[in-house]
A and B are shown apart, each in its own frame.
Chain A
Amino acid sequence: DIQMTQSPSSVSASVGDRVTITCRASQGISTWLAWYQQKPGKVPKLLIYSASSLQSGVPSRFSGSGSGTDFTLTISSLQPEDFATYYCQQANSFPLTFGGGTKVEIK
């Protein structure tokens, strides 16, 4: 199985801050990576696929980059509605696996 490791596990930030979350795969996955946002008690929402493609309707302050084993999700200017937990997921091979999540909290 491909292990996905996210860091940090939590981050405290203020509205307007730039936030970067990293995700590392235990082996190369090209750009077969997705990012999800999950708010408390809500359903995970697909933000980014193919490592850097923005899902329709997702604000442009979200961006993704990386290939191989190292990936990043960046929120360029944090908004109040962005406080949530973010998960990466590798889509390269089965079983599909998720990172442990990064909780973005209000500072």
Chain B
Amino acid sequence: QVQLQESGPGLVKPSETLSLTCTVSGGPIHGYHWSWIRQPPGKGLEWIGYIYYNGITNYNPSLKSRVTMSVDTSKNQFSLSLSSVSAADTAVYYCAKIGTGSNNWFDPWGQGTPVTVSS
């Protein structure tokens, strides 16, 4: 079955750019929507955005000015960049697959990667 794994630095300095990659295994990245979701410590879940395998994106307006997503189908990977980070961006970042068609729920999820923004 499809499995996802996040990777990237666990510590980012304020005002810098957070960059994460999600590697998809057990299935193709082609034909599906892929999402990033984050969860600050002790808090709830926030959808960051999605990228389609062909590069079409949809970002949460609350983060849109700072978010860029990209996809590399040859590597079965997609990536997240979040610029000008602050302590408020400290969170566990998850990648997840979105259901097909209008089934916009998340399954499966990656294991999550914690990111701390601190100098």
Contacts and interface: CB of A to CB of B under 8 A. Distances in A.
Interface in B28-58: 35, 44-47, 58
Question: Interface of chain B, helix or strand or loop or mixed?
Answer: loop
A101 B107 contact: no
Given A87-B44, A94-B58, A100-B44, A46 B106 contact: yes
A14 interface: no
B104 A32 contact: yes
Nearest to A95: B60
Interface in A49-64: 49-50, 55
Contacts of A49: 99, 103, 105
Nearest to A93: B104
Interface stretch (B10-18, B71-79, B82-90, B109-117): B109-117
B104 A91 contact: yes
A91 B45 contact: no
A87 B45 contact: yes
A72 interface: no
Contacts of B103: 49-50, 91
A96 B47 contact: yes
Question: Interface of chain A, helix or strand or loop or mixed?
Answer: loop
Contacts of B119: none
B38 to A, nearest CB: 11
Most buried by B among A1, A32, A46, A101: A46
B27 interface: no
A34 interface: yes
A18 to B, nearest CB: 25
A101 B105 contact: no
Interface of B: 35, 44-47, 58, 60-62, 94, 99, 102-107, 109-112
11 contacts: A32-B102, A36-B45, A36-B106, A46-B106, A49-B105, A91-B105, A92-B104, A94-B104, A95-B62, A98-B47, A100-B44
